[in-house]
Amino acid sequence: MADGPVLAQLHFGREDAERDVTDGLLLRGGFLPNAAYRGALSGRKMLIIGRKGSGKSAVCMQLMADGGRTHHGGKVLVTPDEAAGEEIRRFELQGLPGDSAKALIWRYVFAVHAARHLVTHAKDAHAKRPDSVKSLGRFLKQNGEAPGSGSRLVERLAQGARALQTSLSLEAFGVKASMDLAQSPSEGARAARQLEVVEQGVARAFTDLGCDGAVHPPLLLMVDQLEQVWSAEPDSNAMVIGLLLAAKHAASLYGRSVRFLLFLRADIYDSLSFGEGDKFHGDELRIAWTEQALRDLALTRARASVGEELTEEQLWKELFPQTVAGEETASYLFRRCLPRPRDAIQFLNACQEKAWLEHERDRITEADVEQAGRQFSEWKLKDLTSEYLVAHPFLRNLFPLFQNSGYVVTRAALTRRFEAAAETLHHDFPAYADTLTLSGVIDVLYGVGFLGVRRGNDVVFAGDDALPVQPHETEFHVHPCFRAALGAGSAFDLRRFEPQLVDPRVSSGNYSPGAAGSSSLNRDDRLLMQLTRSCHSILSQVERAVALTRDVRDEITLQFNRVLDDVSRIPPGAAASAGVDVDDYLLTTAHYFTGLSTQLLAGGLDETSGVGPVAHRIEEEARRLRRQAGGSYGSSGDSAGA
């Protein structure tokens, strides 16, 4: 390992793959090969699909920058900027629908890149250039596309668009443009005919050179960062559909000579609807990350920064604390991330920075992780808004429905909250009125990973289960990633029980029993025993409420265990000597019970959850305690019954 504190050297890399290549860890052993990477190398998958930050660009950058270790053929990466995207979005041809027209411009881009590759490859790797390759060279020169011309993608797109809308220079292939113009019935048909001539010329050159993927590896042609130029408008969707159609066509035409890889964000791909969509399922590979995969990634990147000899035990038991809030640290961290590398990298780096940069410690403490977690949660809530700003511009306005409340919310409770906000939402976002219904909001929040749904004994989030939220499902959980930012630290918004015993004589055990020394139970002891029995009766009812979600059950149990702990501190037979007014103590606790029962019934958990019997038992025990203590709701005698 490097000299100096290991924590000072610890770094998990950059959040974006582009910077991670230049000044991060991606090319220094920090890349973890996954199914997407293996699928890309195998050539069996063409569409690499994943959420923002899931590692699509990392796979792309690794393939581009691996120096030929994994793919020895030519590589071309197309990343449209806004200007290039606008050029494609505006491209139209009379006689063709939008996606078909945009497929032609993408096919032109692919054909030109393949032609440029062939001209260069033939010069570098073949002793003789066939006539078909010479024809490609002339075509590129005549149309301003020659290798080394230095023009930007947007400029080549603009030039290609004009040529397809008018006429390409096809003399290199022995075709006169005037003949094309005279015989084509429409602008779209003319463009398609011209493009076919170019594509056939490219295919012929591959064949003549013998570059069919056997003698020489195929050309790897990749398209990434399409989300930079996408909006939820029809012409943007047509641009993406056109890309898919063009890649499918070109892959069939060029065979094993060219391999296509399209890196697409999941929300963009899933929003598309077109007739041939079912033909792409076999080409899809969706990136999914498990907690174990994120652990492996963390260790891989930690080793890349501090040295290969770093062990998993050193990382999670020496550099990080062994546990946080009673939970094993790695589980604590990755459970609070959306399952993607970018989130994990950000959270891990935030922990290191809290400990080393802010506090100059040589190891990360539990407090560092918790502080970093609050900051990370705020980042992620803002990032979720940004990620879906185009598709769901109203997303940020839904978060107040979940602020400062429990992270478990039922359909009934959400109905009340949504109805109170619906008028404002519809006023602010009139174009999305059809989506801004209760079911629509639930579907959106589940789809973006903000809410999970309880199914049986588990809570599942989008990605864990392909099944959308069903109408009969009534219980939802805010993802742990966002709870701190929302102030939703507990499962249910229950008022915390505050211990009443603050007298120093009780807390220290410094009290003097009465002189009578009677071994029989006095009234105070009987009242305190009744309070203990009431707590156990309530806890027993909670245990029997098997339909109650575990997190809510744990929260209720926690509060009543706090009551029991407080009662246990009162010395038997000496409550008065210890300064405890037992009657007042019982009445105060009964008042807390009543408030808790009201909260449970008003919290929106429906009767099928089992919360009703629990709330009613709590209120029964509150009335019993008042009667025992002689409060305003009954007599002081035991004969009042229960």
Dump strand ranges (E) for 150-293.
Answer: 219-223, 258-265, 284-286
Task: Find out whether 296 and 55 touch, Cβ atoms under 8 Å.
Answer: no
Q: What are phi and psi of 633, to 5 degrees?
A: -100, 10
542 and 453 in a single domain? The answer is no
Asked whether residue 500 is domain-assigned, the answer is no
| Exposure on the CB side of residue 545, measured as CA atoms within 13 A | 28
Task: Tell me which of 340, 370, 387 is where a domain ends.
Answer: 387
pLDDT of the residue at 506: 44
- The alpha carbon of 54 is separated from its chain's Cα centroid by a whole number of angstroms, namely 8
Residues of the chain with pLDDT under 50: 1, 67-68, 178-180, 503-519, 632-642
Asked whether residue 24 is domain-assigned, the answer is no
271 and 419 in a single domain? The answer is no
Task: Tell me which of 237, 257, 286 is where a domain ends.
Answer: 286
Asked whether residue 162 is domain-assigned, the answer is yes
66 and 117 in a single domain? The answer is yes
378 and 436 in a single domain? The answer is no
Angle, vertex CA 215, rays to CA 209 and CA 221, nearest 5: 75
Asked whether residue 169 is domain-assigned, the answer is yes
205 and 255 in a single domain? The answer is yes
Using one digit for the tens of pLDDT, what is the confidence trace for 21-56?
666 565 566 677 888 888 888 888 899 999 888 888
303 and 359 in a single domain? The answer is yes
Asked whether residue 506 is domain-assigned, the answer is no
What's the rounded Cα separation, in Å, for the pair 329 and 339? 16
Asked whether residue 155 is domain-assigned, the answer is yes
Q: Please report which helix (H) or strand (E) contains residue 355, including its range.
A: none
Task: Tell me which of 255, 286, 317 is where a domain ends.
Answer: 286
330 and 437 in a single domain? The answer is no
pLDDT of the residue at 631: 59
pLDDT of the residue at 623: 92
> What one-letter code names the amino acid at 457?
N
Using one digit for the tens of pLDDT, what is the confidence trace for 81-121?
877 888 888 888 888 888 899 999 999 999 999 999 999 88
| Domain total in the chain | 4
pLDDT of the residue at 150: 58
76 and 124 in a single domain? The answer is yes
pTM score: 0.77
83 and 134 in a single domain? The answer is yes
In terms of Cα–Cα distance, which of 548, 545, 530, 521 is closest to 589?
A: 530
222 and 120 in a single domain? The answer is yes
Exposed / middle / buried, residue 464 (Cβ in 10 Å: 0-12, 13-18, 19+):
middle
pLDDT of the residue at 183: 61
Q: Which domain holds residue 402?
A: 395-486
Exposed / middle / buried, residue 169 (Cβ in 10 Å: 0-12, 13-18, 19+):
middle
Task: Find out whether 529 and 601 touch, Cβ atoms under 8 Å.
Answer: no
176 and 52 in a single domain? The answer is yes
Express as a percent the part of the chain with pLDDT over 90.
Answer: 43
How many C-beta neighbours within 10 Å does residue 313 have?
9
